[in-house]
Amino acid sequence: KVRQILTALGFCERINYGLIPQKSAELFKSHGPFVEVDNPLSEDQSLLRPSLLPELLRNVRTNLSYKKSDVRLFEIGTAFHRSNGAVSESMKLAGVACGSSHSDTWQDKNKGRALDFYWMMEVVKQIQARTGARDLAFTSCTEDIFHPNFCLSMTNASGQSVGFFGLIHPLAAKPLDLPDTLVFFELDIAGLCRSISGGKKLHPVLRTPSIERDCAVWVASDIPWGKIESAVRETGGELL
């Protein structure tokens, strides 16, 4: 299902090895402690990947070196974690993107708007809506590789982490030879599946035209959008 969704949005699937170097894993310190490989063949294969993103970032850098400026890649694979001395595995879905919303062709020189944090937010919401995942809360994210003002983490109704998405931090992008406009996400497939409730319901077509109204509300700047959305949905009830 998610393959179809991301392919329709212009993403191409990648399949990478599960072994990465230590310096790549350090970009995601919150995913530690890392799982080390006994007697690795090289330093570049010294750890089992704690996230799919390090290799996807390398894929983006390779594409950019071939003058491919518009890149959208995703991968579905296994990530490895060490917990209480034991190694655990989890299926992840991750994606990266940079460039413009439209590719530059000889027929159309209008490249559209640049891909940004809000574009990636729509990608994540498309995945949420089309898979039927519900009751996902968005809160601020503390990943060092993310821009502090443009990153969000997601949790389900049980408080379990589902994933995160955001814009790369400029200080992290420079040493990696990546553009500071690069956006990416990573979702835990098990957590996403636990958020899916029931099937889709079909409703009869309205016999009268719908009416839309805008409502503006003043709130304090430190109140997260997730709390506002929850309050609106609880108050609106069946109307929403």
The answer to whether the Cα torsion of 28, 30, 31, 32 is positive or negative is positive
Q: What is the pTM of this model?
A: 0.78
* Least confident residue range of 6-10, 35-39, 179-183: 35-39
Reported as a single tens digit per residue, the pLDDT across 215-227 is 888 888 888 777 7
Banded pLDDT at 61 (limits 50, 70, 90): very high
CA 219 to each of CA 138, 152, 223, 228: distance values in angstroms, whole numbers, following the listed order: 17, 20, 7, 9
Q: Which letter does DSSP use for residue 37 in this model? A: P
pLDDT mean across residues, the chain: 83
Reported as a single tens digit per residue, the pLDDT across 196-219 is 776 666 778 878 887 788 888 888
The answer to whether the Cα torsion of 118, 124, 129, 133 is positive or negative is negative
